[in-house]
Amino acid sequence: MNPAHFLRNRAPALLVLVAGGVLPLAFAPVGWWFIAWIAPAVLLYCLHEVSARRAFWLGWLFGLGQFGVGVSWLYESLTLFGGAVAPLAALITAGFVAVVALYPALAAWLARIIAGEKLRSIAGVWAFAGSWVLVEWLRGWVFSGFPWLDLGIAQTSGPLRGLLPIVGEYGVSLVVVLLAGLLLGVATWRPRSPRGLRPWISLAGVLAVLGLGGGLSSVRWTPPMGAPLSVGVAQANIPQMQKFDPAFLAMTLQRYEQLTLRMGAVDLVVWPETAVPDVITDLPRLTAALNDRAAQTGQSFLIGAFTQDAAGRYYNTLVGIPETVGSHRKAHLVPFSEYMPLRPLVMLLSGLIDVPMSDLTPGREDQPLPVVRGIPVGASICYEADFARDIRRSLPEAGILVNVSNDSWFGDSFAPHQNLQMAAVRALEFGRPMIRATNTGVSALISAEGRIEQSLGVDQQGILVGKVQPYQGSTPFLRLGSTPSLLLAALLLGLARWRRVRTGRELPSR
């Protein structure tokens, strides 16, 4: 075997695998946002002058690195908290990563099909950016959606954050990939390459986008509304292994009640998702005590608990106390956790995986909003805050956002920090502050500009007390949604195809 030939064929595969594995460092908790520009540029570099088949393979390897590192918390969830034996947890995690890695593979393949083999050209960058964003959007819908590690999410602390209220997560992803192409044009420019991107054009484009994003970061798209609310968040830090054990129920409720007393006379008290790990109507002493406190102090409560309707269906609910506050039933359930698709297949694994309360009913998408002190509340539970489309349903009526979550499933991994970052993106996209309450961290008070003003870290017990200013009005993203960004991505694919037809040459398939 010729060693040079071997390395020439294996080096790009190793390079894209490493680039994908490094990409999660762009996201919380590390937050090196610029890596989200560099990693796709590495993939695009390796896609140049390869066949469509090899483009798919390289994209899949990139995805293996991206999700193998970025969602490695799935193994911990399955072993420590799902009760799965280690080999089965490893197999499920590997299988999941292999499947979601197909999305970058699809993006790479589509870019190659549309633009031809010259993917470092202008048309190649257009095709790569358009393909990437349309595939990200697709991943956000298939099988309920999995929006983890979308490139736009990583920009909460970077110079592009000012674009999120205008074009949203997918629009910023599109800008990131285009910037990756421009940076690649600078890095690979050769004077005798007539089809390459000129370095000064690329640099001018990068600087223009950075300047625009930085300038827009100071724009406030939504104005304040009324007086601030004083709020208190309880993080009891109940371990997942104890949370659903009936022997610990009394201790759990007592801890939340003690934390609530420490908050003082706040307007709104928020307990996290399933803080009450039972059907709340089966606990009359608790509900009576909370109603009495609400009557005496004028406080309102939003309590994470299970509820049951007259037909016997169970819901994951954010329960308002007193009853006039209203409630929110989780509408976007997590597959294989809160409901079981492919139930006959999953039942074959019964006894190997234990997921409590995994047969829930989704709430309606058009639920009335809870109201606290006359302020409509855009409520969401866990997974729902990861999707702009779920939060958007409550707006522009909602003055504040409240998200409750049970991130104890993930331990002290990337996942609690990734969830918090996605919640911050929602606050920034819609110009509303968010109160986020979790069982074991990270709980936070997030400003309407997406800034974390107060937080409680993983495995901490305590309270957050602060003032939250309601807002009104609409950001451009709230009015238009993701449609303009998706149409622009499709337009870039069309332009790339048109340019290929005019000037492209084909590399024989191999």
Nearest to 509 by CA among 104, 55, 123: 55
Q: What are residue 69's phi and psi, to 5 degrees?
A: -90, -45
273 is annotated as an active-site residue: yes
Which listed residue (76, 273, 338, 384) is catalytic? 273
b/e sequence 239-263, b meaning 16+ C-beta within 10 Å: ebeebbeeebbeebbebbbebbeeb
- Quote the CA–CA distance of 295 and 86 in Å, as a whole number: 50
- Quote the CA–CA distance of 300 and 454 in Å, as a whole number: 21
382 is annotated as an active-site residue: yes
Contact call for residues 403 and 385 (beta carbons, < 8 A): yes
What are the strands, taking DSSP E only, across 366-451?
371-372, 375-381, 400-405, 434-438, 443-446
330 is annotated as an active-site residue: yes
- H or E element in which residue 231 lies: strand 229-235
Indicate the SS3 state at residue 475.
coil
| Strand 371-372, strand 268-270: pairing | unpaired
Which listed residue (46, 76, 118, 330) is catalytic? 330
Tracing tokens 């595969």 back to the chain, one arrives at 13
- Quote the CA–CA distance of 397 and 490 in Å, as a whole number: 32
Nearest to 79 by CA among 409, 418, 413, 339: 409
* Polymer length in residues for the chain: 510
- Quote the CA–CA distance of 113 and 118 in Å, as a whole number: 11
> What ranges in 32-146 are assigned the alpha helix state H?
35-47, 52-70, 73-76, 86-100, 102-115, 122-139
The encoded tokens of residue 181 equal 């192409």
Contact call for residues 83 and 356 (beta carbons, < 8 A): no
Neighbour tally for 132: CB within 10 Å: 31
β partners of residue 300: 268
Work out the angle between the directed axes of helices 35-47 and 52-70 (0-180°, nearest 10): 150
Which listed residue (117, 243, 338, 382) is catalytic? 382
Contact call for residues 105 and 465 (beta carbons, < 8 A): no
Vertex 478 angle, CA 474 and 483, to 5°? 150
> What ranges in 217-315 are assigned the alpha helix state H?
240-243, 249-263, 284-297
Known catalytic residues are 273, 330, 382
